[in-house]
């Protein structure tokens, strides 16, 4: 789950975050990887051209208040959101429930969570230029 060289993105400090209304709050001990996701599922979930996802081990994630509400977003994944304000919060693949992706925009201080690669690159919109020089990987999730 870590970076290709085994480094974690963050170590030694807790990161906090939550939804827009504050109903759902979380804290994580470490983030293993961060990437842009260009798949159409992430675009539709976020209402944006791409998502930026920070992956954490489920055991390193604590929900401080309400937990997200989950919905099936595809045959292979579920997505969590705040039932009060609708903020998208998380992504969990059925095949690997020990890892959970949190939307970087939900972190209180996302500045240290820079993406290291692109995911779902074949679905990238032609006018999206951020992260173009980063490595590319593909996804099986599709609308």
Burial status of residue 78 (CB atoms within 10 A of its CB: 0-12, 13-18, 19 or more)? middle
pLDDT in tens, 13-36: 799 999 999 999 999 999 999 999
- The tokens describing 114, both together, are 């820079």
pLDDT in tens, 63-107: 999 999 999 998 999 999 999 999 999 999 999 999 999 999 999
- Rounded Cα–Cα distance for residues 90 and 102 (Å): 4
Contacts with 143 (C-beta within 8 Å, 6 or more apart), sequence order: 40, 41, 44
Q: Are 67 and 23 in contact (CB under 8 A)?
A: no
Q: Which has more pLDDT, 73 or 132?
A: 73
pLDDT in tens, 38-56: 999 999 999 999 999 999 9
- The tokens describing 82, both together, are 């705040």
Q: What percent of the chain has pLDDT over 90?
A: 74
- Rounded Cα–Cα distance for residues 31 and 57 (Å): 8
Q: Is the pLDDT of residue 11 over 50?
A: no
């Amino acid at each position: 789950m870590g970076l290709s060289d085994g480094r974690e993105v963050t170590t030694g400090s807790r990161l906090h975050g939550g939804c827009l209304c504050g109903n759902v709050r979380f804290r994580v001990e470490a983030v293993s990887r961060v990437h842009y996701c260009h798949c159409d599922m992430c675009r539709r979930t976020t209402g944006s051209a791409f998502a930026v996802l920070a992956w954490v081990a489920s055991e390193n994630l604590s929900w401080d208040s309400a937990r997200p509400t989950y919905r099936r977003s595809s045959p292979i994944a579920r997505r969590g959101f705040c039932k009060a304000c609708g903020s998208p919060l998380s992504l969990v693949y059925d095949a690997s429930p020990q890892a959970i992706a949190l939307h970087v925009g939900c972190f209180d201080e996302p500045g240290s969570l820079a993406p290291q690669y692109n995911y779902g690159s074949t679905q990238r919109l032609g006018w999206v230029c951020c992260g173009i020089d980063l490595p590319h990987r593909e996804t099986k999730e599709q609308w």
